[in-house]
A = this chain, B = another copy of it.
Amino acid sequence: MNTSDDQNSIFPKGERASADYFTGTVWVKMLIPNDPNLNCQIANVVFEPGARNNWHTHPGGQILIAIDGIGYYQEKGKHIQLLHKGDVVKILPDVVHWHGASHVSEFTHIAINPNTQKGIVTWLERVTDEEYKKYAP
């Protein structure tokens, strides 16, 4: 399912992300499907305000590149970190984390999964409203 695309955005919005692993409305446009020659998968993800993914890990790590809006990123046991356009997040293998939009703004990032020969993602529990609301500016 596609929506009409913002003319200023770099990529089309893509497909609705599964409610099994995401809270709120999230759109995923696959840019590079997992490729055994590159061991890499790349997607553009648009989170509507308040939307986020579940806690999860990547066996090969992940890099996020924020390209629009304002987002949140949290590693287990640490504070929620604010993300703006141009910010880059390096996520080491097996680090438990989540990411999504802030309360007030849509958020778009490119997600790069390297080392996919080790696997891509292990989904964990949902990020509760209580956890999400803990962002303190």
Q: Given B37, B42, B115, which contacts A38 in the complex, CB threshold below 8 Å?
A: B115
With A61-B38, A63-B32 as known contacts, state yes or no: A10 contacts B85, CB within 8 Å: yes
| Chain A contacts with B in 2-36, Cβ cutoff 8 A | 10-12, 31-32, 35
**Copies in the assembly, this chain:** 2
Q: Nearest residue in B to A93 (C-beta to C-beta)?
A: B37
Tell whether A74 is near chain B: CB-to-CB under 8 Å. no
Tell whether A40 is near chain B: CB-to-CB under 8 Å. yes
1/0 contact string of A37-71 vs chain B (CB within 8 Å): 11110100000000000000000110101010000
Q: A38-B63, A114-B114 are in contact. List 11 more A-B contacts (CB 8 A).
A: A10-B86, A31-B88, A32-B63, A32-B90, A37-B61, A38-B60, A38-B90, A39-B39, A40-B114, A42-B63, A110-B110
